[in-house]
Amino acid sequence: MSKVLKEQKIAVLYGGNSAEREVSLRSGNAIFNALVSSGFNAELIDTKGFCLSELANKNIDRVFIALHGRGGEDGCLQGALEYMNIPYTGSDVLGSALSMDKIRSKQVFQAVNIPTAPFCIAVKSAYEPTDAEKMMSELGHKVMVKPANEGSSIGMAMATNAEQLHDALTSAFEYDEDVLVEAWITGPEYTVAILGNEALPAIHMETPNEFYDYQAKYQSTTTQYHCPCGLPAEDEQQLQAIALSAFKATGAKGWGRVDVMRSEVNGWQVLEVNTVPGMTETSLVPKAAKEYGLAFDELVSKVLEISL
């Protein structure tokens, strides 16, 4: 497979215009360097201000998508590449769009009996301040607010009363028309990387922050990552099976990451599916791959090979 791919011209698309641009720039650089060191003919392209039609002029044979968030992870780019008949890494249009939308993906989880926390939906155009009190009462008086189509914990906030929830929703509506309000989950957080049809070793994240937010993910020096995750083998296998089921339920393909928490009351609760997770050398998927036995360069090559 690698021989075929090494005869192709690979474009690593990164950067872009989303709120996750800075993370994408780091992922793209790491992926590009790994491809070059493995002998691939790769070109790094920042999509900010870039016209995709230029890919044809550059004779690009295949795209490695390293764009996080809107425009790269939500099906838009995937649709454009399919229209241009250019193969790409990761999930297709449907899998990307459905996984990116936190509300629709949770509705899918519910429909196929994948465990996930109770939730309400706040729609900007229909929202009334009195709705906050109703949501708090319905969800147990402590909630997490998440813009439906942002990643990297952008726009997320915790609320323990109606006033806090109203403020959190007001802020979240700056990012999205639809906002997910999710019942608070008390318990440890895990993530499971998916490569092909296989779940890699789980990672347990620990942070002194109230939750695993943007600061904990990208800026903190106190966040701890445990891989092996410390779970008994049977529990980890159960977690991996749930993560793989969630990944398949949204139509995700190729590679990605599923975030899960273990509620002290309700057990495993799936949070979301990520179809283009962070790929710096210190990101979560590379950590899991290392435990599995794949070096970073090997992981990047494998993601590219799966796109065949």
Residue labelled with tokens 């090494």: 6
CATH number where 159 lies: 3.30.1490.20
Is 27 catalytic? The answer is: no
Is 153 catalytic? The answer is: no
Using DSSP bridges, classify how beta strands 203-206 and 224-226 pair: parallel, antiparallel or unpaired.
antiparallel
C-alpha distances (whole Å) from 197 to each of 211, 239, 248 are 30, 15, 9
C-alpha distances (whole Å) from 23 to each of 14, 15, 278 are 9, 8, 7
Check residue 94 and give its pLDDT: 97
Which range among 38-47, 54-63, 220-229, 285-294 shows the weakest confidence by mean pLDDT?
A: 220-229
Candidates 18, 29, 96, 152; catalytic one: 152
Calpha distance 72→63 (Å, rounded)? 12
Same domain (yes/no): 103, 213: yes
Residue type, 101: D
Is 20 catalytic? The answer is: yes
Candidates 150, 257, 283, 297; catalytic one: 257
Same domain (yes/no): 275, 160: no
Which range among 44-58, 181-195, 216-230 shows the weakest confidence by mean pLDDT?
A: 216-230
Which range among 127-141, 165-179, 203-217, 267-281 shows the weakest confidence by mean pLDDT?
A: 203-217
Same domain (yes/no): 107, 241: yes
Q: Helices H, strands E: what count in the chain?
A: 12, 13
Is 278 catalytic? The answer is: yes
Candidates 21, 28, 278, 297; catalytic one: 278
Residue labelled with tokens 């989303």: 18
- Specify if 94 maps to a domain: no
Mean pLDDT of 230-257: 97
Query: 188 pLDDT exceeds 70?
Result: yes
**pTM for this prediction:** 0.90
Same domain (yes/no): 132, 82: no
Is 16 catalytic? The answer is: no
Which range among 97-106, 160-169, 190-199, 216-225 shows the weakest confidence by mean pLDDT?
A: 216-225
Is 82 catalytic? The answer is: no
- Specify if 72 maps to a domain: yes
The domain boundary, picked from 183, 199, 227, lies at 183
Under 8 Å between Cβ of 258 and 272 = yes
Query: Which of the four pLDDT bands, split at 50, 70 and 90, describes residue 210?
Result: low
Most confident stretch, 2-6, 21-25, 113-117: 113-117
State how many domains the chain has.
3
Same domain (yes/no): 191, 301: yes
Tokens of residue 161, six digits:
């009363």
Is 218 catalytic? The answer is: yes
C-alpha distances (whole Å) from 171 to each of 152, 216, 242, 287 are 16, 20, 32, 33
Q: How high does pLDDT run on average in the chain? A: 92
Note down the domain range covering 150. Answer: 119-183
Tokens of residue 115, six digits:
């465990």
Same domain (yes/no): 104, 228: yes
Structure confidence by residue, pLDDT tens digits, 55-101? 999 999 999 999 998 899 999 999 999 999 999 999 999 999 999 99
Check residue 218 and give its pLDDT: 47
Candidates 18, 218, 254, 283; catalytic one: 218
Query: 19 pLDDT exceeds 90?
Result: no
Provide the CB-side half-sphere exposure for 291 (13 A, CA): 20
Considering only residues 282 and 46, tell me which one the structure prediction assigns the higher pLDDT. Answer: 46
Q: Phi and psi dihedrals of 62, rounded to 5?
A: -155, 150
Same domain (yes/no): 176, 206: no
Mean pLDDT of 30-56: 95
Give the 3-state secondary structure of residue 211.
Answer: coil
| Per-residue buried b or exposed e for 247-278, using 16+ beta carbons within 10 Å of the residue's own CB | bbbbbbbbbbbbbbbbbeebebbbbbbbbbbb
Is 175 catalytic? The answer is: no
Question: What strand order describes the sheet that includes 143-147?
Answer: 119-123, 178-183, 143-147, 157-159
Share of the chain above pLDDT 70, in %: 94
Check residue 220 and give its pLDDT: 52
